[in-house]
Structure 1
């Protein structure tokens, strides 16, 4: 029962990157006492060999992603023995293998569509909260105000949307 409570309470430490764990600062843990974060993780891993195998695989994948080393990532996925990991980790490994070309792109290039996805999500929330606007121009104006954007129309009739802090700067002609 004590092991269960410890695992239930401190499972987030198992998801933390091992390089970010504290090796020097002692902290009081209610179910462990005064310990280092690393010692808490080691004790949690000592409860089950299968958990330790899954943890080591997860940490090696996490490290290769942090280092942006696709070759190491691919090597880890190709050499993992699917019989030794849990059912859930097996599903995750198969999914990662399936999407390997896309993962290579995300590790190779610094581009991300995260900011655009965030903007789309905020627009959807605005739409849901507003229960629909009377006309589209009012809705568009509300979005522009929310994101502090200013629409600028160039000589070629192309629409540029820039943050308000850039409104005084010149836009290059293409």
Structure 2
């Protein structure tokens, strides 16, 4: 269910998506509100769940993570118990950055980072595949990142 936002809320969201570290004072000046009104609006966006969290996006390569891969995972049997077990395990692995449930011929898509190919292989074999409900893992290695964003388009007016 979409929430209806006014132009001020939309402007706040656009600015915060561009730079979440912006001070409330700077944000209020850009938006054209008093600092207290701007802070109240931002807090409301957080309280209503429109803003889920403020985060720092880290360049994984600068931290030595040279491998980025997407792994398609199938579970067997696919039921509530195995799904719950799989999701609890995936949450424990810091290498797994994102996890999506899918329709179609695969059950899940994982975004995984690793130091190198050996580390990735070891993670798949020694950690992920140790869960016996995983029947198949199909990997696509990322050769280059052509576009990456967490920005959600905010319609004008």
- TM-score (norm. length: structure 2): 0.31
Please identify which structure carries the higher helix content: 1
Please identify which structure carries the higher strand content: 2
Q: Which has the larger Rg?
A: 1
- TM-score (norm. length: structure 1): 0.29
RCO comparison, higher one (Cα < 8 Å, 6+): 2
